[in-house]
Structure 1
Amino acid sequence: MKEYGFNTTLLHGTEETNPFGATQVPVYQSSAFRHDTAEELEKIFANKRAGYSYTRINNPTVEAFEKRMTKLEGGVGSVACASGMAALTMALMNILRSGDHVVAAAGLYGETVYFEV
């Protein structure tokens, strides 16, 4: 697989995130995706098979964005969120337990200072 520089990856993705060489990935505006059997959909919901079921869970457009961000950041995976507060909630709930405290700068994002687990 050809490796691109940072700016090219930023603009065009990689062969993995953009296999057809388009300068933009398509925007899938579908809310749901067709499956041949209920069993196939069940495997997707159970994370036993790759695929898409419902756009609010994942879709090809969001997945292309996540893969591109992972590549740009040199990470192992990414999760796109609908808002900054959703991203903070996911990050904090991943590491905090009930009763924990966070020490952070006063300029923290929005209403994060009032966040309670």
Structure 2
Amino acid sequence: MLQPNTTKHNRQGSSKPTKLNTATLSTISHRESFEQEMDSALVQWEEKEKSTLDAELAALQQVVYNTANTYLGKPDRKHQDWFDPNDQELQAFTRRRDQAHQRMLQTRSTRSSTAAYKDVYRVL
């Protein structure tokens, strides 16, 4: 008899780098000062000891991203006031929805449990 594989997979490795606020480069003054920052960071990188090609490319990528991240920063979210994840009412709705979903998954799906889940889900 075949048993389902229920092991959880943990992602390994580095996460994707976050997006950068490239809109600041639209002005000439910001662009020029960013170029100066990048040039100075690359000069410091060139002075370091070189090893394998892969390590060198990884170090270059890290230097470029870190410099850009410190200078440009992360972009502003467009709809920050639209959604407040700390809102108590919203957390209560989310908790009710999750509980209804868990009840539906833990027991055999009956029409009443499915309907209860759909009613709670429609509120959100």
Structure 2 length-normalised TM: 0.21
Higher relative contact order (CA 8 A, sep 6+): 2
TM-score norm. by structure 1 comes to: 0.22
> Would you tell me which structure has more helix in proportion to its own residues?
2
